[in-house]
Structure formats: structure tokens, C-alpha cells
Amino acid sequence: MRQIILDTETTGLEAAAGHRVIEIGLVEMVNRRPTGRVFHRYLNPERPVDEAAQKVHGLTDQFLKDQPKFAAVAAEFLEFVAGAELLAHNAAFDMSFLEAELARLQPAPSPLSSLCKVVDTLKLAKQNHPGQRNSLDALCKRYGVDNSNRDLHGALLDARLLADVYLAMTGGQSSLGLDAAGSQKGSAGGAEVRRERREPVTVLVVEPTAEEWAEHKAACARIAKAAGGTALFTAFDP
């Protein structure tokens, strides 16, 4: 199964009020394993960033004015996500912005929801932890995912953190190390996750002496007498 973990940053809180996407971060997994493929773009929103939003993600008008517009990356974005299951935290927020961006294109492509199945990890977290805080930071803390470098929100960073959180919530694996400093390759091509190969370890086995075995048997006899049965470690007697 191919899954894409998605996050966006925006100029403000409401797509319906004309706010735009300014950053997209996507992380690809196949059969719950990271493939090494990511999609990350900053975008020129063609409008100012709200001051409150800038305090969250730190992206300024000055920085964004030299970035490509959404129309320039739309085809690559759609190719990356097509046919995958999209996972996003509070998916309705991200989807509303992305659908609005796609609707501005001429001609407008099919809605994103018709190309992909969408899973809201916030709803999943609320089902698993009702009545508790289920923000991404709260879930990182709950599942032991290292988010110490998350001083500001960032689409690719948050997508990588969400991938770890999702795996922990759904399968007990707490981390794949998808940190922002990772050396994953971009969407231009796939890459295998690097794993260190370690040399075989020689295990040294030290046999107990006859005196130690005698002490072991005596201890097992005392335990068996006190428990009214057989001591578990009696089975290891020579």
C-alpha cells in the first residue's frame, strides 16, 4: 500500500477567505516503510502572509516572493500523490487549501479527493485517546517521537514527524527517524533507506562451576518448598 503523509503551511487560517498555500511537504511510504521519496516546495502565494501565521511558521513575504507559484508545481504535485492514501493531521484544513489551489488552475483538474483516499490522523488520534490533547506535539511526546527541532512549524518537518506518530499509533513502531536533517532524496527519484551493517558479534558463554550448580539447586529447592510446587529454573539443571 502506498501512503503519502501530507502537511501544508498557509498565509492564514481560512481558504474561503482567500488565504493560500505557501509550503507543501510530502513523505512517501510503501507498505509502512519510507521509500526515501519526498516532495517539498515553498510557494509564492501572491498575497501577504498574516502576522499571526508568520509567527507559527516563520515564512516571510520577502522569502516567498521569489518562490514558484502553485500552478508551476501543480502537475508534479498531482503526479506524486495520485492513487495514494493521503494522511494529514486535521486533514480538512490541508484539503480545503489544496482543493482551492487546484480550483484556480485553468483548466481545473479533478478534485484531490477523487484522486486519493484521505485519512485524518487527528480523528484517529481522538479515537485512540479520547478526552486527551492530540496535537502533533502532544502525540510526539506520547509516543516518544523526537520533535526537539520543531521550534517553528514546517511542512516537511511536520510530515516526517506525523509519519513516525502514525506508525506508532497504528502498529507500535515508535520511530523511523524521519527527521528534518535526514538525507532523503526528493521527488525526482526513489532511494533506499540507508541501514548500517554491523559485523557479527561473538558471544562468550561461561559455564557455571560444580559449586555454583550446587548453590543453584539448593536455591531452587527452597523456592519449590515455599511455593508448594516446582521452581521454574529447575529445568535448567544439567
16-71 pLDDT per residue, tens: 999 999 999 999 999 999 999 999 999 999 999 999 999 999 999 999 999 999 99
pLDDT for res 233: 62
Asked if residue 234 has pLDDT above 90, the reply is no
Residue ranges per structural domain of the chain: 2-171, 198-238
Task: List, in order, residues 6 or more apart from 212 with CB less than 8 Å away.
Answer: none
Buried b (16+ CB within 10 A) or exposed e, 34-67: bbbbbbbbbbbbeeebeeebbeebebeeeebeeb
CATH match for 2-171 among 3.40.50.720, 2.30.29.30, 3.20.20.20, 3.30.420.10: 3.30.420.10
Asked if residue 221 has pLDDT above 50, the reply is yes
Average pLDDT estimate for 4-23: 96
Q: So which residues are the catalytic ones?
A: 153
Lowest mean pLDDT of 16-30, 83-97, 139-153, 189-203, name the range.
Answer: 189-203
Structure-model confidence comparison of residues 117 and 180, the more confident one: 117
pLDDT for res 237: 59
Upstream peptide bond of 107 is cis (omega within 30 degrees of 0):
yes
For the chain, what is the mean pLDDT?
A: 84
Q: Give the pTM.
A: 0.71
